[in-house]
């Protein structure tokens, strides 16, 4: 009877039964864990008999090519500027040098692609290790100083070429024994380099991940990472492999252990909790913030997602961080809500050298006379729109007098279409305020009459539609 029913049952039904039985039996759970953690009987499968010798020989070849670059003989006829406009000679020379370094490394990155095309995937990774080591060891022409950090320049060039290889890695179906071999050898190389170069594995993280197309492949790589104790060095890859092998619960468990080691893991975990668990989101955000981690990358997210009423101190700290990085009235409105007036007045003093921000805050605090006084002394050709706009919004009648004085003063000495465009912009803002429309028209006519020879100024005034 059992055989008949079992053979007729679907795999999904069998799996459901198995899950139910395991959940009810602690001994079975332990047996499953032991089975899962049991070392797999895998052997290294290498195309070459001595991989270390292959890396050494390849590295020396690449190093010779890099050190043979004659930077003083670069052909100016081959130079293509990266942007329009004037480029100083030293900048052009640096760009030419970087392009030549990238060209040489690109030749060897092409060798990686060739190994992939003939299905020697282990050699592809061995050769990538060779390029990496060559970049670390190569001594470029010491008489040539146009490249400020040669090692970093070489590694950046190699990283750019590796990105172009990722579609190739994603397209190939690598045998499991080759995947095991690549991961094992790469991690062993890291163990040798760890004291000297902690970023080695991170350099190849995206390449390893691009090789994974199935849960079984993810399981192989995950096993090697755990066997070689490399999770701390590859937190993002480690957690993503858990996602592929065990789903969201397995990913979450791993991410909670490693989110403080990787900005990518932290942001992914925050993104998960943003829509599923606001309490966990706040707990993770607070841990990261209090430890000073990834503030630049996550502060705007905290501002958008956190509730200021649930943790006002944290929300205030986040807002103060954001407003220091880039002043915004929306940030200061939060500061007005969460900070006492006495403390705000102390904080206001810290903004005095950021004239547009200082003036905006004075206006928001109702200190319009102080704002106008500061605008009178600190408005210039570059900030006239930013300093005068908040004053116009809060007290247009007084501001139009100050604005007229500043524009007429600046027009005596300042020239340039960019400056004229700013004058036109602030006059358009003033003209759109009904309370001072007449005064603004009078000011515009006076400016045009006094500066009739400045055709570019009239052009800009015409563009915004004030004349």
Other CB atoms within 10 Å distance of the CB of residue 100: 20
**pLDDT at position 40:** 52
Contacts of 378 (CB under 8 A, 6+ apart): 355, 359, 387
Residue 306 structure tokens: 């956190």
The C-alpha angle 348, 316, 357, rounded to 5 degrees, equals 30
| Integer Cα distance of 131 and 136 in angstroms | 9
**pLDDT at position 199:** 84
Angle between helices 368-378 and 396-413 (to 10 degrees): 10
pLDDT in tens, 74-96: 777 777 776 777 777 777 788 88
Say if pTM beats, i.e. exceeds, 0.75: yes
Q: Taking Cα atoms as reference points, which of 243, 157, 167 lies closest to residue 203?
A: 157
pLDDT in tens, 220-239: 999 999 999 999 999 999 99
**pLDDT at position 64:** 96
Other CB atoms within 10 Å distance of the CB of residue 357: 23
pLDDT means over runs of 10, the chain (467 residues): 66 77 78 59 78 95 94 73 72 84 95 94 95 93 71 94 92 90 92 78 94 92 94 96 93 97 97 95 97 97 96 97 95 96 94 96 96 96 96 96 95 92 96 95 92 88 91
Which of 193-198's residues contact partners 24+ apart within 8 Å by CB, and which partners? 197/136, 198/233
Q: Taking Cα atoms as reference points, which of 467, 398, 378, 380 lies closest to residue 439?
A: 398
How high is the mean pLDDT of the chain?
90
| Dihedral pair phi/psi, residue 191, rounded to 5° | -60, -40
| Integer Cα distance of 418 and 439 in angstroms | 24
**pLDDT at position 332:** 97
| Dihedral pair phi/psi, residue 212, rounded to 5° | -90, 120
**pLDDT at position 206:** 94
């Amino acid at each position: 009877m059992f055989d008949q029913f079992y053979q007729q049952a679907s795999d999904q039904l069998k799996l459901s039964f198995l899950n139910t039985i395991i959940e009810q039996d602690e001994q079975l759970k332990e047996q499953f864990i032991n089975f899962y953690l049991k070392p797999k009987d895998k052997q290294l499968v290498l195309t070459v008999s001595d991989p270390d010798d292959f890396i050494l020989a390849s590295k020396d070849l690449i190093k010779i090519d890099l050190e043979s670059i004659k930077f003083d003989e670069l052909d100016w006829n081959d130079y293509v500027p990266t942007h329009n406009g004037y480029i100083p000679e030293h900048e052009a020379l640096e760009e030419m040098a970087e392009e030549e370094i990238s060209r040489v490394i690109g030749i060897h990155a092409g060798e990686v692609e060739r190994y992939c095309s003939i299905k020697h995937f282990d050699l592809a990774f061995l050769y990538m290790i060779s390029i990496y080591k060559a970049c670390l060891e190569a001594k470029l022409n010491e008489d040539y100083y146009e490249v400020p950090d040669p090692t970093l320049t070489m590694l950046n060039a190699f990283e750019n070429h590796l990105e172009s290889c990722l579609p190739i890695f994603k397209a190939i179906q690598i045998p499991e024994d080759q995947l095991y071999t690549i991961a094992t050898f790469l991690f062993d190389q890291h163990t040798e380099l760890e004291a000297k170069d902690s970023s080695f594995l991170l350099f190849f993280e995206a390449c390893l991940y691009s090789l994974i197309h199935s849960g079984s492949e993810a399981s192989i790589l995950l096993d090697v990472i755990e066997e070689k104790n490399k999770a701390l060095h590859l937190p993002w890859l480690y957690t993503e492999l858990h996602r592929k092998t065990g789903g969201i619960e397995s990913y979450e468990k791993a991410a909670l252990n490693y989110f403080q080691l990787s900005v990518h893991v932290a942001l992914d975990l925050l993104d998960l909790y943003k829509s599923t668990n606001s309490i966990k989101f706040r707990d993770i955000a607070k841990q990261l913030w209090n430890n000073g981690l990834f503030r630049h990358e996550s502060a705007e997210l905290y501002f958008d997602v956190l509730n200021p009423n649930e943790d006002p101190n944290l929300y205030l700290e986040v807002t103060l961080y954001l407003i220091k990085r880039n002043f915004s009235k929306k940030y200061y409105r939060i500061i007005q809500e969460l900070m006492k007036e006495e403390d705000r007045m102390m904080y206001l003093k810290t903004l005095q050298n950021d004239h547009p921000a200082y003036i905006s805050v004075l206006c928001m605090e109702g200190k319009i006379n102080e704002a106008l006084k500061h605008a009178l002394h600190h408005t210039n050709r570059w900030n006239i729109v930013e300093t005068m706009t908040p004053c116009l919004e809060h007290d247009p009648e007084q501001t139009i007098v100050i604005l007229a004085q500043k524009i007429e003063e600046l027009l005596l000495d300042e020239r340039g279409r960019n400056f004229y465009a700013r004058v036109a912009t602030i006059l358009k803002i003033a003209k759109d305020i009904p309370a001072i429309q007449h005064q603004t028209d009078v000011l515009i006519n006076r400016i045009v009459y006094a500066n009739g020879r400045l055709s570019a100024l009239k052009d800009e005034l015409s563009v915004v539609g004030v004349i």
